[in-house]
Amino acid sequence: MKKYLLTGLLVWLPLAVTVWVLSSVVGVLDGVFTSLLIGAKAVLPLSLHATLDAWRDTKGLSVVVMISALLITGAAVSNMAGQWLLDQSNRLFSNIPIVKSIYTSVKQVSDTLFSSSGQAFRQAVLVQYPRTGSYTIAFVTGKPSGEVAQAFDQEMLTVYVPTTPNPTSGFMLMVPKSDVVALRMSVDEALKYVISMGVVAPPMHASGATLPPATPPAAPSTQS
């Protein structure tokens, strides 16, 4: 009986969690969309209120509107006129007190993570953490720069060490590049490995993978 219960749990748990996450996201989007419609009713003529109420009662319409808005915005800023408007809006938000610090920080992070030319989270690696000889999976986010880079006398990498089973929290570490062990697994495979607490092991990759084979650096010997 216990075996069947565990088997049934393994079958239904991923589906239940997926449905729960998607329902939560849609619920948040519907809430924001409803707030916008309520605000629109305050300024639009009464003849349009019935249409706005119908939109508000349509579940999931916010997802369609969000995807459409993202596509339209992406297409609009791809030309010179749209890029000019984007630059002007960035300049405007960058000059507003309080908003400036939040907007600029979020924009820098999003540009780093989602830029097609960026290297953040493009490679999974092994680093020694939390002590020498103990390894954990991390993701390369870049290299130290500015004053921080001048403090080191060797090449360093900035890595993000996620926690398990929730990888959205973790630690930022700066480690010597020579101590970083490159992995052939993809970022998605590494995330699955972290989220599953090591249960879902990534498949073995062929020796002809892009990343070179790496041997974990030997822990320093201790003399008694």
Closest CA to 194 of 160, 146, 156: 160
What is the secondary structure of 48-83 as a DSSP string?
A: GHHHHHHHHTSTTHHHHHHHHHHHHHHHHTTSHHHH
How confident is residue 206, by pLDDT bands cut at 50, 70 and 90? low
| Chain centroid to CA 186 | 15
Tokens representing residue 41 in the block: 């009713």
Across 125-135, average pLDDT: 90
The confidence score (pLDDT) of residue 117 equals: 54
| 66 pLDDT above the threshold of 70 | yes
Q: Where are the domains of the chain?
A: 21-95, 124-195
The confidence score (pLDDT) of residue 56 equals: 84
The confidence score (pLDDT) of residue 174 equals: 93
| 127 pLDDT above the threshold of 60 | yes
